[in-house]
């Protein structure tokens, strides 16, 4: 019986949490030997913004552009498959059109006022390429679920 009591006392003593205050001292580096810290360049303009939405019937993609003043031009390309066949819509927006320039990209074709809409659309992607005033190009891809 004494062995069991002794065993229980030892078991309890070993299972008690032990708290230890530990400090790790890191070596100090002299200011002259520290590497220089640089911050990332700050962009003063946000670039061209594009609001992308589907038409109410999902037969077209609507794009509204803003802040065009920072660009030379904006190219857009909508690609998709209709019944397994590749289709595309491409175009350009010029800054002279001003903020709020809009484009309606149809999932289909129109001729003489008669539109034929594509069906079974898959793999729809939109890429907007902005050429900034400084010549730099910015690509913004969108994957669309039609």
Q: Which domain holds residue 88?
A: 49-144
Q: What is the model's pLDDT at position 44?
A: 39
32 lies in some domain: no
110 lies in some domain: yes
Q: What is the model's pLDDT at position 146?
A: 79
Structure tokens at 69: 């003043």
Q: Are 133 and 143 in contact (CB under 8 A)?
A: no
Q: What is the model's pLDDT at position 66?
A: 92
19 lies in some domain: no
Query: Does the pTM of the predicted model rise above 0.75?
Result: no
Tokens 């990209």: give the residue.
105
Q: What is the model's pLDDT at position 32?
A: 56
Q: What is the model's pLDDT at position 84?
A: 93
42 lies in some domain: no
> CATH no. for residue 92?
2.60.40.2150
- Number of domains the chain contains: 1
Q: What is the model's pLDDT at position 122?
A: 94
Q: What is the model's pLDDT at position 8?
A: 56
Q: What is the model's pLDDT at position 56?
A: 87
Q: What is the model's pLDDT at position 99?
A: 87
DSSP-assigned letters across all residues of the chain: -HHHHHHHHHHHHHHS--------PPPPPPGGGSPPP-PPPPPS----EEEEEE-TTSSEEEEEEE-GGGEEEEEEEEEEEETTEEEEEEEEE-GGG-TTEEEEEESEEEETTEEEE--SEEEEEEEEEEEETTS-EEEEEEEE--
36 lies in some domain: no
Q: What is the model's pLDDT at position 39?
A: 35
- Report the SS3 class of residue 92: strand
14 lies in some domain: no
75 lies in some domain: yes
Residues in the chain: 146
139 lies in some domain: yes
Residues in the chain, pLDDT under 70: 1-46
- Report the SS3 class of residue 69: helix
């Amino acid at each position: 019986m004494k062995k069991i009591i002794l065993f229980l006392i030892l078991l309890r003593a070993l299972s008690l949490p032990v708290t230890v205050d530990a400090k790790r001292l890191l070596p100090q580096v002299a200011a002259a030997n520290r590497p220089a810290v640089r911050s990332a360049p700050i962009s003063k303009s946000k670039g061209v913004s594009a609001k992308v939405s589907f038409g109410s019937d999902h037969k077209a993609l609507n794009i509204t552009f803003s802040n065009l003043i920072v660009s030379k031009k904006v190219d857009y390309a909508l690609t998709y498959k209709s019944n397994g066949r590749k289709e595309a819509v491409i175009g350009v927006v010029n800054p002279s059109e001003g903020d709020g320039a809009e484009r309606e990209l149809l999932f289909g074709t129109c001729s003489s006022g008669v539109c034929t809409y594509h069906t079974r659309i898959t793999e729809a992607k939109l890429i907007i390429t902005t050429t900034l005033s400084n010549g730099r190009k910015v690509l913004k891809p969108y994957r669309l679920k039609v």
